[in-house]
Amino acid sequence: MKSSRDVALTDLEPGVEQMRDEVVDGLMQRRKTISSKYFYDLRGSQLFDRICELDEYYPTRTELGIMRDSIDEIAELTGPSCLLIEFGSGSSLKTRILLDHLKEVAAYVPVDISKAHLLASAKEVNADYPTLEVLPVCADFTAQFEVPECDRPIEKRLLYFPGSTIGNLQPDKAVDLLRNAVETCGPDGGMLIGVDLKKDAAILERAYDDAAGVTAAFNKNVLVRLNRELGADFDVDQFQHEAIYNDEKGRIEMHLRSRRAQVVRVGGTEISFEAGETIHTENSHKYSISEFAALASAAGFTVDRVWTDAKRWFSVQYLSVD
């Protein structure tokens, strides 16, 4: 019988008060918003896992294919005895390709904002890789935090950021995150990042508005969460999921459109909606290779290697600290 280490959680989960203040502030703006980080309670994380399996949602299977095809080069660039840190670890599906091929990984630090999902995934990795130290961190990875120390000596830090989650951030905020990533990686470290590439708008809109309605349920689940955790009174059925491609800004935008005029209470604050008014819940920016290289350079990274699929729909990029 194989044995495994205990999983020790570092809990930096944002508190309910912070969540309430951020949500209310966003909903009081002229153009109402809710941060996409609040999608990821346990149910939201489970729905996103289902999205990743949909025919219309190309990013996950395309990125997995690139990773499998390029893993020998990735392992050579990384070298032995790395501390593997993953932002937005989710189910750690793609991470297993790294764990199976990188040489003598010192420890694995999955970072996610959904505590229950994070712990469940960390325990699965812990069971499947019994000699690996797994150090989960529940945190908002867009803010700086201390990376836990591991038992084994490390040669470098490799920060893994798959799924093109970088696209959820406005370009200036993406540069801020990448600057934080430079600090996390350290002077000899590297970053392996998934970056979705620009393509036909119809392909993008299908990917974010699937025929089975899973993405719609994922989008609306944020309102279910606010009702449960903040005592809000959203009538979820009175909001409609929309996903549109904004060509000018090069991004998919997800919205929840109010079907009628209504008043919603969140944390004791009344928020009025006009019929047809939307809550902007997520962006997913798409980049050209050169556009993303400019972002990386502004943050202090150099793009060492870019791998793409045959259609050039998606890229996996290896960045080194300047």
**CATH T-level assignment (fold) for domain 58-199+287-321:** Rossmann fold (3.40.50)
Q: Tens digit of pLDDT for each residue in 227-247?
A: 999 999 999 999 999 999 999
Q: Where in the chain is the domain with CATH 3.40.50.150?
A: 58-199+287-321
- pLDDT band for position 5 (cuts 50, 70, 90): low
Q: How do residues 63-81 score in pLDDT, each as one tens digit?
A: 999 999 999 999 999 999 9
Average pLDDT for 24-42: 96
| Segment 45-61 mean pLDDT | 96
What is the largest distance, in Å, between two alpha-carbon atoms of the chain?
61
Q: Are 301 and 318 in contact (CB under 8 A)?
A: no
pLDDT at 122 over 80: yes
- C-alpha 185/C-alpha 177 separation (Å) is 12
Question: pLDDT for 266-307, tens place per residue?
Answer: 988 999 999 999 999 999 999 999 999 999 999 999 999 999
pTM, two decimals, is 0.94
What confidence category does residue 3 fall into, taking pLDDT thresholds of 50, 70 and 90? Answer: very low
- Residue 1: band (very low, low, confident or very high) from pLDDT cuts 50, 70, 90: very low
Cβ-contact 281, 222 below 8 angstroms: yes
- Pairwise CA distance, residues 319 & 303, whole Å: 4
